[in-house]
């Protein structure tokens, strides 16, 4: 593990200054040119991640007195869903809030900092990202693209629902041939275990289940999924941290647009992003606790995933990542080993 660097300490100090500015303490420079950004989430309007994205955009606009106006857009309204980072790179968007794993077409290591089997739980993931070099490694992974992030920009979120399903899962055999929406590395690992996994945007899952296109799906947290009415299309809810112990999303910005911002506005943006990503995590932890009973009251059957499925998934995930660490570009092993080292240290104090 790397100790906190002087840069991290300076960033923390700047964040305190930013919160003061956001609260109205200190005057903004006069005659500043107004700047307009477009920012997109990746989900539909009902997704809490989209809601918090929109709150953050409005908070930046208010805190800067309109000097930086950030216009929020829902996933798919500016560019196709999951293509947000391409749009940031090209300057179509100046900011986006999305899951790193949606960019596996560009970086094989993106799935490591996402909803991945055997990954870090939420608290540990955010700590690694903010203090253990995670943000720096993500930027290193994205070298060559006009995209960047920074400490505080990752919201870990609680563990994902393992599956909403029409099919009862009683043993490992029930995964064989299961038509399931499962994104990122988790989808690849479940495919190796015999599931028929597909990629479908979150906003299309309700209809896909209604039409019978899929039998099961993962998407997000209990809280998010309750608000998207998934109780209406899947009688079974399966819970386990094995497939995705956290469901992280990250704010990314266009480098060129960022460099043009006045320094005091950069401070405000960083501080507010840090505030809203943490607030979303805490909100969804609370709401997910409440959502368990809501699913049950709606008639859903809520189960823990059978142990033989968990054990097989963990074993296949370990094999999968060790293989990829040997075959992928060096940044893959660098990120994987950094997270693994931090996870071992984190677990040692638990």
Q: 44-68, pLDDT tens digit by residue? A: 888 889 999 999 999 999 999 999 9
Residue 120 token pair: 């870090």
Asked if 237 and 251 sit in the same domain, the reply is no
Strand residue runs (E) in 166-287? 179-181, 196-198, 216-217, 236-239, 249-254
Selection from 94, 65, 70, 93 nearest residue 80 by Cα: 93
pLDDT of 10 higher than 70: no
Taking only the tens place, the pLDDT of each residue in 303-338 is 999 999 999 999 999 999 999 999 999 999 999 999
Give the model's pLDDT for residue 30.
Answer: 44
Give the model's pLDDT for residue 44.
Answer: 86
CB of 224 closer than 8 Å to CB of 47:
yes
What's the CA gap between 177 and 174, in Å, rounded? 8
**Residue 93 is assigned to a structural domain of this protein:** yes
What's the CA gap between 190 and 196, in Å, rounded? 8
Give the model's pLDDT for residue 14.
Answer: 44
pLDDT, the chain, mean? 90
pLDDT of 17 higher than 60: no
Among residues 237, 263, 285, the one where a domain terminates is 285
**How many DSSP H helices and E strands does the chain contain?**
12, 12
The domain that holds 186 is classified in CATH as 3.40.190.170
Taking only the tens place, the pLDDT of each residue in 119-166 is 899 999 999 999 999 999 999 999 999 999 999 999 998 999 999 999
Asked if 175 and 252 sit in the same domain, the reply is no
Q: Domain count of the chain?
A: 2
Which residue is it, tokens 């005659």?
A: 31
Selection from 218, 172, 169, 165 nearest residue 193 by Cα: 172
Give the pLDDT band (50/70/90) at residue 8.
very low
What's the CA gap between 255 and 88, in Å, rounded? 9
Asked if 60 and 166 sit in the same domain, the reply is no
Domain assignment of residue 28, given as a range: 6-157+247-285
What's the CA gap between 118 and 112, in Å, rounded? 10
pLDDT of 99 higher than 50: yes
Higher pLDDT, 10 or 233: 233
Give the model's pLDDT for residue 32.
Answer: 54
CB of 39 closer than 8 Å to CB of 53:
yes
Residue 222 token pair: 């209990």
Mean pLDDT over residues 264-277, rounded?
Answer: 98
Backbone angles phi, psi at 216, to 5 degrees: -160, 165
**Residue 320 is assigned to a structural domain of this protein:** yes
Asked if 341 and 208 sit in the same domain, the reply is yes
What is the value of pTM for the model shown? 0.82
Give the pLDDT band (50/70/90) at residue 349.
confident
Asked if 89 and 115 sit in the same domain, the reply is yes
């Amino acid at each position: 593990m790397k100790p906190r660097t002087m840069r991290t300490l300076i960033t923390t100090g700047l964040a305190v200054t930013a919160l003061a500015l956001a609260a109205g303490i200190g005057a903004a420079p006069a005659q500043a040119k107004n700047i307009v950004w477009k920012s997109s989430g990746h989900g539909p309007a009902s997704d809490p991640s989209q809601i918090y994205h929109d709150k953050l955009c409005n908070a930046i606009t208010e805190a800067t007195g309109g000097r930086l106006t950030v216009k929020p857009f829902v996933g798919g309204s500016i560019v196709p869903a999951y293509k947000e980072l391409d749009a940031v790179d090209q300057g179509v968007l100046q900011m986006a809030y999305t899951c790193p794993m949606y960019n596996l077409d560009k970086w094989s290591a993106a799935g490591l900092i996402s909803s991945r089997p055997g990954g870090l739980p939420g608290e540990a993931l955010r700590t690694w990202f903010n203090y253990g070099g995670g943000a720096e490694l993500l930027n290193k992974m994205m070298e060559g693209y006009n995209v960047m992030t920074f400490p505080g920009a990752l919201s870990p979120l609680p563990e994902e629902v393992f599956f909403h399903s029409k099919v009862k899962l009683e043993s490992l055999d029930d995964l064989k041939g299961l038509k399931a929406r499962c994104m990122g590395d988790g989808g690849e690992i479940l495919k190796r275990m015999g599931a028929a996994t597909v990629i479908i945007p979150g906003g299309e899952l309700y209809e896909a289940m209604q039409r019978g296109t899929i039998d099961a799906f993962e998407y997000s947290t209990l809280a998010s999924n309750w608000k998207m009415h998934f109780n209406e299309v899947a009688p079974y809810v399966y819970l386990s941290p094995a497939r995705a112990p956290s469901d992280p999303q990250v704010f990314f910005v266009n480098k060129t647009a960022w460099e043009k911002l006045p320094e005091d506005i950069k401070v405000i943006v960083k501080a507010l992003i840090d505030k809203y990503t943490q607030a979303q995590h805490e909100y969804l932890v609370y709401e997910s606790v409440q959502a368990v009973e809501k699913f049950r009251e709606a008639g859903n059957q809520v189960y823990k995933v059978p142990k033989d499925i968990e054990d097989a998934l963990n074993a296949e995930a370990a094999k999968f990542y060790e293989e990829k660490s040997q075959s992928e570009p060096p940044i893959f092993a660098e990120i994987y080993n950094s997270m693994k080292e931090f996870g071992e240290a984190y677990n040692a104090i638990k």
